[in-house]
């Protein structure tokens, strides 16, 4: 089939690469280059870099406006495929491809419609994640579903790690659907059940509440790692928590209190300590959590969340 593909982050790259091996990609739509790192160097999106590697035509745009609609319509695509582009497709672009658009979404719809399905699912404590391919409609993530796939992710997997797994499985799922559409055998069914919504994460979502039970604290850590990042305050200064895991058979520790061991820094929660192995203090680079703790003056009086 003659396709137009829209996507931006690394999670969209496996689908683009798979589709490019068996279908014609008329154009790839992605967000403009963005400043990254401390030096704020303008950097192409992962999808832009993949498209360049594949020699595919690129349309970089922050808005899917009339000009972009004209560009895409002129290509006469049969189908549009979108994976985490980062913007809404509205009419008349929605109807520009002859068969409309399909969307790979990283949830088992109608669960977790919206911008951060994997992150919100992990924060909520979901044990099974998944991917869905559905017909794009004007209403947010509400179209009929062609196919879904459940994925059991490791119980310690962060959102970033879970997305890598889902991106690979989702690419296979999307290719299967596109192939079925090309063959005229694809069937989409309406979503059933009560939808839940996954709003975009903000910096505030990464704040760890040490009074909550350990499971809830660790679930939030998983859901906000690597973005927007888990963090707390210590002595009025921000401290990012980069690597952490629940502890087994550890002595109780009051919420927010610290205990250093040979391999990790334990921080008390409402039901048991969280073992933190890597942190990033404000204005500094990432470092071993125990080394950071040993370097704190008056450390025994400091509390996470203070």
| H/E stretch holding 166 | helix 159-183
Is the residue at 163 inside a domain? Answer: yes
Name the average pLDDT for the chain: 94
Residue 288: per-residue pLDDT? 95
158 in the same domain as 239: no
The structural domain count of the chain equals 2
Three-state SS for 72? helix
Same-domain check for residues 74 and 159? yes
Question: What pLDDT, on a 0 to 100 scale, did the predictor assign at position 298?
Answer: 56
Same domain? For 262 and 296 the reply is: yes
Residues 175 and 248 in one domain: no
| CATH number of the domain within which 296 lies | 3.10.25.10
**Structural domain harbouring 210:** 203-301
Residue 306 lies in a domain: no
| Domain-terminating residue out of 146, 163, 198 | 198
Are 207 and 191 within one domain? no
Give yes or no: residues 104 and 178 share one domain. yes
Question: Residue 251: its pLDDT value, please?
Answer: 85
- CATH number of the domain to which 51 belongs: 3.40.50.170
Please indicate, yes or no, whether residues 109 and 213 belong to a single structural domain of this protein: no
Hey, is 27 helix, strand or coil? strand
Residue 249 lies in a domain: yes
Same domain, 260 and 232: yes
Query: Of 168, 198, 228, which closes a domain?
Result: 198
Residue at 60 is within a domain: yes
Residue 38 placed within a domain: yes
pLDDT the model gives residue 299: 55
Residues of the chain with pLDDT under 70: 297-301
Return the pLDDT at 67.
95
Give pLDDT tens digits for 142-165: 999 999 999 989 999 999 999 999
Residue 186 within any structural domain of the chain:
yes
287 falls within a domain: yes
Question: Do 220 and 166 share a structural domain?
Answer: no
Q: Please tell me whether residues 158 and 257 are part of one structural domain.
A: no
Predicted confidence at residue 300, as pLDDT, reads: 59
- Do residue 122 and residue 230 come from a single domain? no
Q: Does some domain include residue 221?
A: yes
Domain boundary among 143, 175, 198: 198
Q: 130 and 259: one domain?
A: no
Residue 38 pLDDT: 73
What is the predicted pLDDT for the residue at 301? 66
Strand 237-246 versus strand 101-105 pairing type: unpaired
Q: Is the dihedral of CA 103, 104, 110, 114 positive or negative?
A: negative
């Amino acid at each position: 089939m003659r396709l137009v593909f829209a996507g931006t982050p690394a999670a969209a790259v496996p689908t683009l690469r798979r589709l490019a091996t068996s279908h014609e990609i008329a154009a790839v739509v992605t967000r403009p280059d963005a400043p990254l790192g401390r030096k704020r160097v303008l950097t192409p999106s992962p999808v832009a870099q993949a498209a360049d590697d594949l020699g595919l035509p690129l349309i970089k745009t922050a808005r899917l406006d009339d000009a972009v609609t004209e560009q895409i319509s002129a290509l006469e695509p049969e189908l549009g495929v979108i994976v985490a582009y980062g913007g809404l497709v509205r009419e008349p672009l929605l109807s520009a491809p002859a068969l409309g658009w399909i969307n790979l979404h990283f949830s088992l719809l109608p669960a977790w419609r919206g911008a951060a399905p994997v992150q919100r699912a992990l924060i909520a404590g979901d044990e099974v994640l998944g991917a869905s391919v559905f017909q794009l409609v004007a209403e947010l993530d509400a179209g009929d579903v062609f196919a879904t796939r459940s994925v059991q992710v490791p119980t310690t997997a962060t959102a970033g790690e879970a997305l890598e797994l889902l991106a690979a499985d989702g690419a296979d799922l999307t290719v299967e659907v596109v192939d079925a559409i090309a063959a005229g055998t694809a069937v989409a069914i309406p979503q059933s059940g009560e939808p839940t919504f996954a709003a975009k994460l903000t910096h505030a979502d990464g704040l760890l509440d040490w009074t909550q039970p350990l499971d809830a604290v660790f679930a939030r850590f998983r859901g906000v790692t690597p973005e927007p990042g888990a963090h707390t305050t210590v002595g009025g200064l921000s401290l990012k928590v980069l690597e952490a895991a629940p502890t087994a058979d550890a002595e109780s520790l009051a919420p927010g209190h610290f205990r250093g061991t040979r391999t990790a820094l334990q921080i008390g929660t409402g039901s048991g300590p969280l073992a933190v192995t890597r942190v990033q203090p404000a204005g500094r680079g990432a470092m071993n959590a125990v080394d950071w703790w040993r370097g704190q003056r008056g450390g025994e009086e400091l509390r996470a969340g203070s």
